[in-house]
Amino acid sequence: MKRILFLTTVPPHIIQKYVSDDDWSNDMLPAHLSKRGASVTIKRWTDEDIITTILDSDLVTFLWAEDYIQHPVAFREFLETAKKAIEIDRNGANPPCVMNHIDLVKWNMDKSYLLDMQRAGFDIPTTEILDAEQFSSPSALHQRLQMFQLSGSVVLKPSISASSNNTRLISDISALSNDDTAYLDSCTKGDLQSSLVIQRFEPAIATGEYSFVFVGDRLSHVVLKSPKSGEFRCQPQFGGLLCPQPINTIEERTLSMVNTIFDTLRMWFGKGSTGKMGYLRIDGLVTDETAFILMEIEAIEPCLYLELEGLQEMLSLLLK
């Protein structure tokens, strides 16, 4: 019987509610795994005995740890502690496999990874990342933003965030609204709990953002996420629509670029001292001029749209 541990962030009573409602993210993966004979445990990475539980597991996954962004410092400390414990336990008979492994999770939790991808030769939106708390006032931060771009639209977000959490579109950086100024004020006061990501707004978002979902070593399926009219965020909670896209309808130039991104990540992170890379979601835009503008890589707790496709592949991967 394979012992599979799902790390989570939510309090125990919330875990029990989800268990009783059979309402799991990623298409009820724990329930499906249990039905196939796995011993499934759901436990908070903040629990005092979590390292013991990890070492007593065969497979550990972050697929249900989405709220880690609320505790970035503690989560990073947990990753370091868990990595050391697993590396020491490597001399044991059956050390746990973490999927995705801890080095990949550490790299992916901060959006500064986008700059690594840019250095590797991939297109990303024009991006800068800085410490907003070094600025004494919203006006001082505003002056710095205008060094990035004098006028026009920019997108601001925490470097540790998910699902457009605390993300703001400033329509014209040369003419801030009161709400824009309030957002900058919160940034200077440390409300982001991480660095500030500044990006040039990509108008192509109006036609939708593509999510390429990889399970194991192959592209499993593609979803187009389209924002509602007047919105730049494409998640369903902001009115976005999801539409599966047959892989054979994606332009060859785009598929080639996305597969090259995946191959690069597999070269960097295919295996680590704590486990292996098992799943990824690669998000981006397609324009007439550019085959693929990389917007995000999700390797921790992504929505993989398994309710649409890829569930059997994921179950096979976790039960292998």
Q: 204-306: which CATH topology?
A: D-amino Acid Aminotransferase; Chain A, domain 1 (3.30.470)
Contact present, 160 and 186 (Cβ < 8 Å): no
pLDDT at position 63: 92
Q: Which CATH number fits domain 3-108: 3.10.450, 1.10.3470, 3.40.720, 3.40.50?
A: 3.40.50
Prediction pTM value: 0.93
CB 210 within 8 A of CB 224: yes
Residue 64's pLDDT is what?
87
Residue 92: per-residue pLDDT: 65
User: What pLDDT score was predicted for residue 10?
Assistant: 80
Dihedral angle, C-alpha 247, 253, 256, 257, nearest 10 °: -110
Q: What is the pLDDT of residue 163?
A: 67
Instruction: Count the neighbouring beta carbons within 10 Å of the beta carbon of residue 111.
Output: 21
CA–CA gap between residue 176 and residue 137 (Å, rounded): 14
- The per-residue pLDDT for 16 is 62
Contact in structure between 77 and 45 (CB atoms under 8 Å): no
CATH class of 127-201: alpha beta
pLDDT of residue 109: 96
Per-residue pLDDT of the chain (320 residues; tens, 9 = 90+): 899 999 999 876 776 665 554 444 444 788 889 889 999 999 999 999 999 999 999 999 999 898 899 899 999 999 999 999 999 877 666 889 999 999 999 999 999 999 999 999 999 999 999 999 999 999 999 999 999 999 999 999 999 987 667 899 999 999 999 999 999 999 999 998 899 999 999 999 989 999 999 999 999 999 999 888 777 888 777 778 889 999 999 999 999 999 999 999 999 999 999 999 999 999 999 999 999 999 999 999 999 998 888 999 999 999 98
Per the CB < 8 A criterion, the answer to whether 291 and 251 are in contact is yes
pLDDT, position 164: 65
Structural domain boundaries of the chain?
A: 3-108, 127-201, 204-306
pLDDT at 24: 45
